[in-house]
Every structure is written in C-alpha cells, then in structure tokens.
C-alpha cells in the first residue's frame, strides 16, 4: 500500500507513514518563515493551518493563495502528485482572489477551479475533502452573478 503523503510503500500498515511527518514539518517550517515576515494577525492565522485541534477557516486558507502557498508547498517536499494537486488549488485560489474578474475569463477560471478540485479529490486523503473545497465553485458562481468589477 502506498502512503498518501510520502512516496514510500509499507505493506500491511495504515495509509500514512511516519515519513509523512517530515512533509508536515517542512510545510510548517515554510509557514514559519512566512509568518516571521508578515503582520502578526496574518502570522497567527498561518499557524492555525497546521495546529492540531485548531479549526482553520476558509479565509485563512486563502492566505495560501499565490506566492505564500506556492512557497510552502514547494518547501514541503511532497511527492509530485500531491504537490501538483496542492499547487493547482493554490493557483486556482489565487485567480479567484484577483481584484478584477473579466466575464471573458470566467470559463477558464471555472475550468481551473474544477480541475484543481478533481486533482485534490484524486490524490489527497478523503479528510481533505470538506465544504471549503466545495465552496470554491460557489465563488465562481458569485463572480458570474455579480458581473465584472
């Protein structure tokens, strides 16, 4: 059975191995580097993304949209399939976060969001599939309904 986070094989054990802890540790380390260089309110929200027992809100995950998230994902040392899924979500969120949305680009935006969600559903643990991911599609719908700004 292949581990869901690191590229090892470990027959007869669970779907996540001890090596996965290194990926989480690397991700936390990258977030700590970012947190040391941003305002304190943002730093606290970044810390909640990986703290056990703390529930991160959707707006906290949007802090990872763009260069912050891409840096953290690349530093985590994930296997290529997980890295691709995470970078896809980071990039889709970054596009959703743009201040100006053009109606002519909404089809491409919707496609990017759907493809990112599909990659996460395909390559990540079922525990990652929650309402936050689903709500990304509603953001595209809202942009479409409100029109260009």
19 has a pLDDT exceeding 90? no
| pLDDT (0 to 100) of residue 12 | 45
Q: Mean pLDDT of all residues in the chain? A: 79
Containing 118, the helix (H) or strand (E) segment is helix 106-123
| pLDDT (0 to 100) of residue 123 | 80
Cβ atoms of 16 and 39 closer than 8 Å: no
For the segment 83-95, the average pLDDT, to the nearest whole number, is 90
Stated pTM of the model? 0.74
Give pLDDT tens digits for 47-87: 777 776 666 666 777 788 888 889 999 999 888 888 999 89
Give pLDDT tens digits for 21-36: 788 888 889 988 988 8
Cβ atoms of 53 and 12 closer than 8 Å: no
Give a three-class secondary structure readout of 67-113.
HHHHHHHHHHCCCHHHHHHHHHHHHHHHHHHCCCCCHHHHHHHHHHH
Q: Which residue has the higher pLDDT, 91 or 10?
A: 91
């Amino acid at each position: 059975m292949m581990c869901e986070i690191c590229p090892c094989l470990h027959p007869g054990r669970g779907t996540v191995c001890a090596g996965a802890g290194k990926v989480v540790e690397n991700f936390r380390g990258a977030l700590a580097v970012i947190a040391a260089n941003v305002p304190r309110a943002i730093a606290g929200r970044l810390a909640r993304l990986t703290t056990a027992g703390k529930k991160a809100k959707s707006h906290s995950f949007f802090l990872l949209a763009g260069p912050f998230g891409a840096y953290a994902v690349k530093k985590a040392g994930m296997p290529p399939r997980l890295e691709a899924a995470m970078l896809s979500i980071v990039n889709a969120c970054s596009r959703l976060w743009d201040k100006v949305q053009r109606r002519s680009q909404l089809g491409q935006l919707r496609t990017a969001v759907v493809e990112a969600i599909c990659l996460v559903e395909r390559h990540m643990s079922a525990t990652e599939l929650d309402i936050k991911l689903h709500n990304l599609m509603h953001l595209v719908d809202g942009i479409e309904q409100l029109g260009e700004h």
